Amino acid sequence: MNYLHYIGTYFLMVVEMFRKPTKWSVMKKLILKDVDDLIIGSIGIVAFISFFVGGVVTIQTALNIDSPWIPKNLVGFATRQSIILEFAPTFMSIIMAGKVGSFITSSIGTMRVTEQIDALEVMGINSLNYLVFPKFIALTLYPFVISISMFLGIMGGLAACVYGGYATMPDYIEGIQLDFKPFHMAYAFIKTLIFAFILATVPSYHGYYMKGGALEVGKASTTSFVWTSVMIILLNYILTQLLLSQ
């Protein structure tokens, strides 16, 4: 029954987040700060991971193609499919659950411990709208981060493929273009937007409703990472089943 209570509290939090909005002059500053912290601050680690994982995917694909009957352009095709369909939207979101999710939980949890949230409530401010809504709006730019991840993943694969001598650049580019389906991009960005909502709200829930002192802030951050990852993986399965199994 505790799980039903937590689920109900989560959905009530999401509804409350949109009620009694904070005035725009204040909200604009909060949104810009969260864009800087959550989006711009994440581009570096996303770029680094994407480039080298794209290279690893390409190398592993090339090393497993040892038959002369299999065309070399399959390396580019497999890299594109792996990065666009799964790595960039899903596994990068799990990595972001550790970076962004932990940051959100710890920042809101610290405000709870130091009674800043209580002070906001006393002043008549909707603390959920003040704290969570700017993060939700900031993370609507999350698809921009994922498109960078897709691009750099494919470029990392190109670099590994050409400089490793696994295939020529024309073969790799031909593979990237081979049997391209635009719906796969739509599928990836639909997933990304839903994962962005999870990244904004689940860590906020664990930070906002945490109890205890400074020690519990760390525990709440760990718990939020676990549950955010679980939600992303479950939703990934459901969305893949709904959107791709035709």
Q: What pLDDT does 170 receive?
A: 87
Q: Does any domain span residue 89?
A: yes
Residue 245 has pLDDT above 80, yes or no: no
- Flag whether 10 is in a domain: no
pLDDT over 90 at 116, yes or no: no
Q: How confident is the model over 8-32, as a mean pLDDT?
A: 88
What is the pLDDT of the chain when averaged over all its residues?
Answer: 89
Q: Is residue 94 part of a domain?
A: yes
Residues of the chain above pLDDT 70, percent: 98
Residue 1 pLDDT > 70: no
Containing H/E element for 46? helix 43-64
Report if residue 21 sits inside a domain.
no
Q: How far is CA 242 from CA 89, 186, 245, in A?
A: 16, 13, 6
Range of the domain at 108: 36-243
Structurally, the chain folds into a number of domains equal to 1
- For 10, residues 6+ apart whose C-beta sits below 8 A from its C-beta are 201, 202, 205
pLDDT tens column, 33-69: 999 999 998 999 999 999 999 999 998 888 887 767 7
Q: Is 22 domain-assigned?
A: no
Does residue 26 belong to any structural domain of this protein?
Answer: no
